[in-house]
Structure 1
């Protein structure tokens, strides 16, 4: 049985799982220019909250979930959760339990920022245009942190399409890329199955011949990742070196979260007009845009949500455990400069001035 909205439908188990875990899903869609949050108050219906942004892609949350970073076209904005201001939110007090307010914006330039992570109080991001992992900087557009050993020079050429980044012990550790190329846009000329998964601690290639790998996640001595070209969810056991395909999806999979019980996977429709993606193996059949929740151990589907209109591509996906009713104020929101937060005990919504003043 499915529930329908104007341009998407979902299984009844989708809100049930979010309600059971008192959690939210947040995803970005650069195609539609929005960051969208899904949750459920009753376990029967979905609650959706959306904010317009300029080509949003990568997201990162600090370990305590107090900080959230979202990458847009040429900048990364850091938001901070303020529960006190959420309680007194002027349009509707107590509408949100968590309200993320913009605090700092880093001007990165248009570097095609992909995935991001918070580690050891630092924000790291995949700088795809320059083929490196970067850190934010208040002096320059970015600071180089790591580059693949085969990248001989720093240049804005998207040589290998570096895209995914995973933490281990709160440090950047595993990355995915489409090819080991040092030529400008070299990955486009490479085979579809030229992708690699690499350990950046010792620059060791863990897996090669992958089909456009994305979204690595380290969990329980294994690395979960997606092969977008084939629509596969895979897991690599670091101890046994075994690779297993858990499930195949009908979409260009990109966006992955792993918990003890569930795996959350987002997918996009393939653009038939695309010279790069239109001939992929996954494009042979009709593709879908949406989110599936699968059992981590069995790989069986437990819930799903699919879009029928308006949204055809999803980039980033985050699962916020025990975090419900989330709101975001962007830099363009008329309310973002109508509040003042000094510390935990002093938070204010400014009163509008009268016309006489």
Structure 2
């Protein structure tokens, strides 16, 4: 098992933006202060990413940031962040990242050719090339179909959507128990599992069909739904998030109890395999590892969940960060912890074949003069 001793903070390599041949004509724009945050991580995290030839992307709607971590020079952990208001669902690969934000869905393209680097260190530069405005529909998780089209969870209107060239969104499915599309966040539809390049399963906090009804069903109203058959695959969950199809199983985060597990297709029961000290949102897999994001519970809104009792039982405080679980041993192999201003994260994705990525925020100074053409 990996050494859990936190590496020194000065071993974090903060990514610099790509250089430009042209000086900026305007003074630097000052981004909103995200507040002071202490970053600690397991000593082997950078080596793990390098050995597996992956980087991770994760989001925080609270701070409005997309974070990318990879392996930098001298075995340092490379960390980069870019401002995207209310950054939520994220999906990507070595050439493209999709991100849901407060009012838009963003498509970022890697502009570097194979073998090219930026600043001699970054092997990928993801630049926002398309930003489609949806309005505030509370986009949660999203996925990419095998035909390249994006689909996403529209939580405010309780439906699954795809972008529309003219309108805010094009609904393609809603739960049978939702009687109409209305901006009322009735069941808190939130998670999406893709299977063979098509949307297959979703998670919802309950089956409510009234405005904001999910808040009264947080303890045991959660369901997983097969969108092809409308069959309820599991119920009685506590605020489930992030269903995923991996290794022939339907996995899900039972966030209200802090557990990762899978759904037994025989009796449709939730089979927990690991407890995490935090409110779980965001799940990705790579090889024999499960990667999830943890948040500190929002009190008042989320008081009284089983997670609170489990934290007391284990004499533990809730985390904000990322943990990487070895599925074979059940142990946490690596982790990254954020303490301070950041208390909530949302989604996470694996960027396979990517060593040290960077992205330019749409309102950053650098993007004004970072020009590429074919």
**What TM-score do the two structures reach when normalised by structure 1?**
0.89
1:268 aligns with 2:299: no
Q: What is residue 352 of structure 1 aligned with on the other side? A: none
Q: Which of 77, 83, 89 matches 2:112?
A: 83
Counterparts of 2:45 and 2:121 in 1: how far apart (Å)?
22
2: distance between equivalents of 1:97 and 1:11? 24
**CA distance in structure 1 between the aligned counterparts of 2:74 and 2:244, rounded to whole angstroms:** 28
- Which blocks of at least 5 consecutive residues in structure 1 are unaligned? 347-357
Q: Secondary structure at the match of 1:214?
A: strand
Q: Do residues 39 (structure 1) and 65 (structure 2) align?
A: no
Q: Render the CA deviation track for 1:111-162: whole Å, top value 9, x for unaligned.
A: 1100010112111010000000010112000000110011111100000000
User: Do 2:91 and 2:99's aligned partners in 1 also have CA atoms closer than 8 Å?
Assistant: yes
Number of residue pairs matched?
336
Report the Cα distance in structure 1 between the residues aligned to 2:185 and 2:267, rounded to whole angstroms.
33
Q: Which residue of 1 aligns with 2:53?
A: 22
Q: Quote the Cα distance in structure 1 between the aligned partners of 2:217 and 2:204.
A: 12
Residue 198 of structure 2 corresponds to residue 171 of structure 1: yes
Structure 2 match to 1:107:
133
1:218 corresponds, among 241, 245, 256, to 245
Q: Is 2:153 the partner of 1:126?
A: yes
Aligned equivalent of 2:211: 184
Aligned-residue CA RMSD (Å): 2.0
Equivalent residue for 1:278, pick from 273, 278, 303: 303
Query: 1:236 deviation in Å?
Result: 2.1
> What residue number does 2:163 align with?
136
2:183 is the counterpart of 1:152? no
For residues 42 and 96 of structure 1, the distance between their equivalents in structure 2, rounded to whole angstroms, comes to 10
Deviates more, 1:313-322 or 1:239-248: 239-248
- In the alignment, is residue 56 of structure 1 matched against residue 56 of structure 2? no
Counterpart Cα distance in 2 of 1:21 and 1:28:
21
Question: Please, what TM-score do these two structures have when normalized by structure 2?
Answer: 0.85
Post-superposition offset of 1:19: 1.5
| Counterpart residue number, 2:348 | 317
Q: 1:195: which partner in 2?
A: 222
Pair 1:186–1:39, CA change in 2 (3 A): same
Q: Deviations over 1:27-81 (max 9, x none)?
A: 10111221111112368431111112211111122xx542211111111111111
- Name the counterpart of 1:355: none
2:8 paired residue among 4, 7, 13: 4
Q: Secondary structure at the match of 2:256?
A: coil
Shift, 1:339, TM fit: 4.3
